[in-house]
Structure 1
Amino acid sequence: MKNILIASYDLEIGGVERSLISMLEQFDYENYSVDLKLYKHQGDFMPMLTNKVNLLKEVPEYATFRKSIVTLLKEKNYSIATSRILAKLQADIIGKIKRISEPGYYQMQLMWKYAMPFLPEIEKEYDVAISYLWPHDFVAEKVKAKKKIAWIHTDYSAIEIDEVRDIKVWSKFDYIVAVSDACKNAFIRKYPEFKYELIVLENLVSYDFIQAMSTVDVPNQFITDSRFKIVTVARLSHAKGIDMAVRALKLLKEKGYEEIAWYVVGYGGDEAKLIKLIADLELDKDFILLGKKSNPYPYIQASDLYVQPSRYEGKAVTVTEAQVLGKPILITNYSTSGSQIENGKNGLICEMSSFGIAKGIENLYLNRQKLKSLSDYNRKYSFVYEGKLTKLYDCIEVETEGLQKNELIGAI
């Protein structure tokens, strides 16, 4: 039986975390012994973690990644606090020099770089170590394993990072898993030297679980809202484009569409900015931030339209979940959108702007037959990717099967 390590940050609410829970639920525990390394044992998804996986003890040094600098200073963890301060200052400077709208990716890379000397190694040696969430420095530098695999969940053409450091880390991995073909292609365009290490493994979702969860904890106030209800499930961040959504609703209101309400399930660093924007545009009763919800499915199920207004995505788990629930869907034309929506068949793709989002919503609001046809298609089509862990098992077992890496990737 091979020993597998899977590493990620925590089990807070998010698409990556939901896909990790699904993967762990479906893992082959008869043939593999799986240890799970969470840097911090926290998150609303913790109770959903299967008892078949061995959750490793939380290590204080790694738990710091989910703590603020102020908290670290209060706890007298001066070395890692200093590394975090240096990372933030340097990232802010790089952001201003390069005019980067979201220097957070630089900051995360630098955070790991400066903290690395203060982080302990894992003593156990594994057959395979899997890093599920970028940055992948922990598995690259602090884990001993015969084979290493890392995941890509985002569109690499849309983020600004330190490419030299990124290449150094990626080079430590034998395989790189992208969550969609578009995600894979975007990564190859940036790093063609890794094209032979890449495979595609769709995010796993459970049809039965989503359907069952969509019928519990139904929010009465939401259900009784008789307006045309739009729902978005997303992190409140620049990447997810919620600010464009707010402005799109304002455009619709100015055109006289008073019977439209937009609900957002999620939380994040941009919450204060969005609350101010909503107030400034006088949309307090129409654009509603519902906050963190461990079960977003009743909101999706009760919606008239699901909208993903993102600036970039790898492959949005929430869109797949809305498809599973048979909802009509509108997404922006981020570079990987074509890997998730066949425009006009199982959803619509609109221009990535407040105007484009408003126009897309208006088209569907006025054309209820189109809205119904999108919904009908999604109800009939299977968007569930259960059983596709065989690709991952192939990577794990490739040497014992006598296959060469390039042959394996060509085969799958």
Structure 2
Amino acid sequence: MTKKKIAIYNGQLYMGGIERVLINYLEKLALEPELDITLIVKENIPEKNVFASEVPKNIKVEYIKSEELCRKTEGYRKNKKNLISRLMYQWSLFYERVVTRKWVKEYFEKNRFDVIVDFDMSLMKYVDEIKNQDIVAWAHFTLKGKKKKRQEMYKTKFKKYRNIVLICDDMKSEFEEMYPEFKEKGIRIYNPMDFNTILKKSEDTKELSKEELELLKDDYFIGVSRLVGGKNRVAMVEIYSELKKRGRKEKLYILGDGPDRENIEKKIKELNLEKDILLLGQKKNPFPWMKNAKLFLHTSMGEGLPTV
């Protein structure tokens, strides 16, 4: 039996909604004997790629960037208050793009697939380097919420894709309105949700420390996401501050990590909320935290159909 070769690209395996959905798909696809699946990941810092351990063993994983290069860039990013580090960070980002473009070009010249899935649409920057292969884009976010420049870029790049997957009916309608010339390429596929696993994990606290178990007993609100500007966690801190003034006693737990953490910490300090707002970082299993919260908060500026 000739197996169908599928390449699935995602920029990272960090804790995030897209990555959670990706793992859900991989777990099911790995059970299909007629499929030969390769997962291609750009970022390569093991402790950040928390979902790497959940990739089924029969799926081959290729990393585009070396761990050394990723750590170097991360070091410059963390020290951006220093002028030299800021300059080196920009240079390192430029160099990473060069490395990625070269890797994509050479890899897809040597390896042919029945279909390539651009699962987080970040392969789009380099899609011109892939010749004569079917590529599918997977949109997990509202396209209207993107800047004009990005919307125009989509218009150019969508020509390269066989299909564009949208994850809800509203997104499909939005896509058809914005890009009528590509209407026939749009396909709506809902995100898969394994509710039995979610419920089971929400009861699983064996990995939690004594301190974390105590935190679960407190009264708290919760926000769960990557800490990036688009998730608007700085605004969440400001909203929580107003709720405190109106007499709310609950604490605020924020799960997740990312480049906006520094701005969030700054806002927490500015509003003297260090004892009330806890940045708990990435949690491989966020479900006990969500289950025990009094209220789930979400301040994102744009979503498709938010998995969280």
CA contact (8 A) 2:118 2:138 kept: yes
Distance in 1 (CA, whole Å) between partners of 2:150 and 2:252 is: 37
- The equivalent residue for 1:174 is 162
CA contact (8 A) 2:101 2:126 kept: no
- The equivalent residue for 1:288 is 278
Secondary structure at the aligned position of 2:128 is classed as: helix
- The equivalent residue for 2:93 is 84
Matches within 5 A, 1:231-250: 231-250=222-241
Residue of structure 1 aligned with 2:6, choices 4, 12, 16: 4
Give the C-alpha shift of residue 185 in structure 1. 2.7
Deviations 1:124-179 (A, max 9, x none): 11111111112233772344564221110111111113444332322111110112
Q: Which stretch shows the higher mean deviation, 14-23 or 201-210?
A: 201-210
Change in Cα spacing, 1:112 to 1:196, as seen in structure 2 (3 Å) is: farther
Q: What amino acid maps onto 1:10 in structure 2?
A: Q
Aligned residues: 283
Distance in 2 (CA, whole Å) between partners of 1:215 and 1:126 is: 41
Residue of structure 2 aligned with 1:33, choices 31, 36, 49: 36
Distance in 2 (CA, whole Å) between partners of 1:221 and 1:179 is: 38
Matches within 5 A, 1:203-214: 203-214=191-202
Change in Cα spacing, 1:63 to 1:49, as seen in structure 2 (3 Å) is: farther
Q: What amino acid maps onto 2:134 in structure 1?
A: K
Secondary structure at the aligned position of 2:222 is classed as: strand
Secondary structure at the aligned position of 1:154 is classed as: coil
Residue of structure 2 aligned with 1:270, choices 260, 267, 283: 260
TM-score by length of 2: 0.81
Give the C-alpha shift of residue 50 in structure 1. 0.8
Q: What amino acid maps onto 1:34 in structure 2?
A: I
Distance in 2 (CA, whole Å) between partners of 1:134 and 1:113 is: 18
Change in Cα spacing, 1:241 to 1:71, as seen in structure 2 (3 Å) is: closer
Is 1:121 aligned to 2:106, yes or no? yes
Q: What amino acid maps onto 1:206 in structure 2?
A: D
Uncovered stretches (5+) of structure 1, i.e. residues with no partner: 73-79, 87-110, 319-412
Distance in 1 (CA, whole Å) between partners of 2:142 and 2:277 is: 28
Residue of structure 2 aligned with 1:133, choices 100, 103, 120: 120
Distance in 1 (CA, whole Å) between partners of 2:175 and 2:168 is: 11
Matches within 5 A, 1:10-409: 10-27=12-29, 29-41=32-44, 42=46, 43-56=49-62, 58-60=63-65, 68=73, 82=91, 84-85=93-94, 116=101, 120-122=105-107, 123-137=110-124, 140-144=127-131, 146-160=133-147, 161-217=149-205, 218=208, 219-225=212-218, 227=219, 229-257=220-248, 259-318=249-308
Deviations 1:216-269 (A, max 9, x none): 2353122221x3x21110122221121222121211221222x22211101111
Secondary structure at the aligned position of 1:171 is classed as: helix
CA contact (8 A) 1:175 1:198 kept: yes
Uncovered stretches (5+) of structure 2, i.e. residues with no partner: 78-88
Secondary structure at the aligned position of 2:114 is classed as: strand
Secondary structure at the aligned position of 2:289 is classed as: helix
Distance in 2 (CA, whole Å) between partners of 1:314 and 1:82 is: 33
Distance in 2 (CA, whole Å) between partners of 1:59 and 1:135 is: 13
Q: What amino acid maps onto 2:8 in structure 1?
A: I
Distance in 2 (CA, whole Å) between partners of 1:237 and 1:5 is: 27
Q: What amino acid maps onto 1:31 in structure 2?
A: E
- The structure with the largest alpha-carbon Rg is 1
Distance in 2 (CA, whole Å) between partners of 1:4 and 1:118 is: 18
Give the C-alpha shift of residue 19 in structure 1. 0.6
Change in Cα spacing, 1:250 to 1:15, as seen in structure 2 (3 Å) is: same
Distance in 1 (CA, whole Å) between partners of 2:263 and 2:165 is: 34
Deviations 1:185-205 (A, max 9, x none): 333333222111011112222
Distance in 2 (CA, whole Å) between partners of 1:261 and 1:70 is: 32
Change in Cα spacing, 1:65 to 1:278, as seen in structure 2 (3 Å) is: same
- The equivalent residue for 2:83 is none
Q: What amino acid maps onto 1:244 in structure 2?
A: A
Higher relative CO (Cα under 8 Å, sequence separation at least 6) belongs to: 2
Distance in 1 (CA, whole Å) between partners of 2:99 and 2:153 is: 12
Secondary structure at the aligned position of 2:251 is classed as: strand
Distance in 2 (CA, whole Å) between partners of 1:81 and 1:232 is: 31
Give the C-alpha shift of residue 61 in structure 1. 7.1
CA contact (8 A) 2:11 2:122 kept: no
Identity %: 24
Q: What amino acid maps onto 2:106 in structure 1?
A: E
Change in Cα spacing, 1:186 to 1:49, as seen in structure 2 (3 Å) is: same
- The equivalent residue for 1:369 is none
